[in-house]
Structure 1
């Protein structure tokens, strides 16, 4: 099973740390593993670099896009896609989205594609399996000399 946390990162940090996603991964994995005062400090850092997920627009977007997908449903802020050999659920939270997927990776890619097409600056992380990355990488300018 794959468990992704998806965060909307502030534009300033996206621009500065693009290509160094491992630093974000390290911060979030430290946050998950920490306790006590260290957890409070790291929580403040995470709050500073993330933006709240715009709940109603994201909910409307997912409801609209999910209706186009076979085997998909929207129930109480949870989007679900179930296929014969795979599935995924996406839960909206205030500061993040949680994506739990099993089986083949087809279902999670459907959710990633919906979010990639419609929202920017989203970073997905599966701390347990050390998988992380931008859903919509920023385009680099190419200068000709």
Structure 2
């Protein structure tokens, strides 16, 4: 089972920490493991560096794109892609998108591709397997001297 949390990172933080995504992973990992006052402090940091996920536009984009995918359906507020022996569920929260995937095929990449094409600065984190990365890598500016 693979569980991803996808966060929309503020542009200034995304640009500044591009190439140092491990720092984001460390912050979200600490947030997951912490409790009490430390959890409150880290929660404020996470809230500061992330943007809320725009629910209706994102929902419309997913609905429009998933019509083209075989085995995709909506149940209440959850998007589901099911294959023969694999699948993925997507659930939108206020500040993150949760994706749970199972099986040998990587069904979650269909969700990643839809989100990548339509939104910017999205960071996907799988805390259990220590996997993380941008859905859409940031283009670096090249200055001519």
TM-score (ref. length: structure 1): 0.96
Q: Which residue of 2 aligns with 1:14?
A: 14
Q: Which residue of 2 aligns with 1:32?
A: 32
Once the two structures are superposed, what CA deviation does each residue of 1:72-101 show, in whole Å capped at 9, x if it has no partner?
001212110000121000001111000000
Q: Which residue of 2 aligns with 1:93?
A: 93
Q: Which residue of 1 aligns with 2:121?
A: 121
Please give the alpha-carbon distance, in whole angstroms, between the structure 1 residues aligned to 2:72 and 2:57: 19
Once the two structures are superposed, what CA deviation does each residue of 1:98-118 show, in whole Å capped at 9, x if it has no partner?
000011243111010000001
Runs of 4 or more above 3 Å deviation: 142-145
Q: Which residue of 1 aligns with 2:55?
A: 55
Please give the alpha-carbon distance, in whole angstroms, between the structure 2 residues aligned to 1:8 and 1:102: 24
Q: Which residue of 1 aligns with 2:137?
A: 137
How many residue pairs get matched?
145
Please give the alpha-carbon distance, in whole angstroms, between the structure 2 residues aligned to 1:46 and 1:141: 27
Please give the alpha-carbon distance, in whole angstroms, between the structure 2 residues aligned to 1:130 and 1:111: 19
Question: 1:66·1:74 contact (CA, 8 Å) conserved in 2?
Answer: no
Which consecutive unaligned segments of at least 5 residues does structure 1 have?
A: none
Corresponding residue SS for 2:46: helix
CA RMSD of aligned residues (A): 1.1
Deviation at 1:143, TM superposition (A): 4.5
> Judging changes above 3 Å, is the alpha-carbon distance between structure 1 residues 65 and 42 closer, same or farther for their aligned structure 2 residues?
same
Deviation at 1:141, TM superposition (A): 2.8
